[in-house]
């Protein structure tokens, strides 16, 4: 099929899949995540002005309305207030994990708003999938926030969601700051029904 070396993009797609399959070896009944009959919820097109017409749904509590809700935080991550607006602050190595949201194979993408006052700070984003043996985090990408609260790039949820074709898979999102403090707000996922 390929003469010489396969395209680099093929490796980028196969590495997360291989990692997840390696974790699943030894358990014929292992599932990728809880399969769910996802109910549609309110969607918006918050990034249309940026040329992204995708309809997104807010992750549960993803606008941080004065509370963390069902989000979990570790290593100093906390809700902060800035100009009458609440943001989720992530100090270096601080971690925050969202409650589960429904996605499937159609077009699962993630976007959110981020900022930092520390040059060089980044935010590592992962999909957190529940399994019978526990949870597994699959890296989705790294975002470099700007000095002002601005939208991130689109991150593709590159995990094998085969079981979600006729339903949905519940997954959470994990955010970890690296190299300095960063803040996030308005965390969106392209919903399971998009396409």
Which domains does the chain possess?
A: 8-189 (2.60.120.200)
Low-confidence winner among 4-18, 48-62, 148-162 (lowest mean pLDDT): 4-18
| pLDDT on residue 134 | 74
Over residues 37-94, the pLDDT tens digits come to 566 667 889 999 989 998 888 988 999 999 999 999 999 999 999 888 999 999 999 9
The mean pLDDT of the chain is 78
What is the structure's pLDDT at 7?
A: 52
Confidence of residue 191 (pLDDT cuts 50, 70, 90): low
Q: Facing residues of 131 across strands?
A: 134
Alpha-helix residue ranges (DSSP H) falling in the chain: 8-24
Please tell me the least confidently modeled range out of 97-111, 121-135, 139-153. 97-111
**Residue 40: per-residue pLDDT:** 61
Distances (CA, A) of 56 to 62, 72, 88, 109, 188: 12, 22, 20, 9, 6
pLDDT > 90? residue 169: no
Which distant-in-sequence residues (6+ apart) come within 8 Å of 157 by Cβ?
103, 108, 109, 110, 127, 140, 171, 189
Q: Which residue has the higher pLDDT, 127 or 27?
A: 127
> Torsion over CA of 64, 68, 71 and 72, rounded to 10 degrees?
140
Q: Is pLDDT above 80 for 132?
A: no
- pLDDT given for residue 161 in this prediction: 53
State the sign of the Cα–Cα–Cα–Cα dihedral 76, 47, 17, 171.
positive
Which letter does DSSP use for residue 60 in this model?
T
């Amino acid at each position: 099929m390929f003469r010489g070396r396969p395209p680099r993009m093929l490796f980028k797609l196969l590495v997360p899949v291989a990692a997840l399959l390696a974790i699943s070896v030894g358990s014929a009944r292992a599932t990728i995540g809880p399969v769910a009959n996802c109910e549609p919820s309110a969607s918006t097109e918050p990034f249309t002005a940026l040329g992204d017409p995708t309809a997104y749904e807010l992750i549960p509590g993803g606008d941080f309305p004065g509370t963390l809700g069902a989000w979990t935080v570790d290593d100093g991550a906390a809700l902060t207030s800035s100009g009458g607006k609440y943001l989720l602050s992530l100090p270096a190595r601080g971690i925050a994990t969202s409650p589960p949201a429904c996605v499937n194979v159609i077009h699962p993408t993630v976007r959110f708003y981020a900022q930092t006052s520390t040059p060089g700070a980044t935010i590592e984003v992962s999909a957190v999938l529940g399994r019978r043996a526990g949870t597994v985090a699959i890296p989705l990408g790294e975002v470099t926030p700007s000095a002002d609260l601005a939208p991130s790039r689109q991150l593709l949820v590159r995990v094998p969601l085969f079981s979600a074709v006729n339903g949905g898979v519940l997954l959470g999102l994990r955010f970890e700051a690296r190299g300095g403090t960063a803040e996030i707000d308005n965390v969106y996922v392209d919903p399971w029904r998009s396409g």
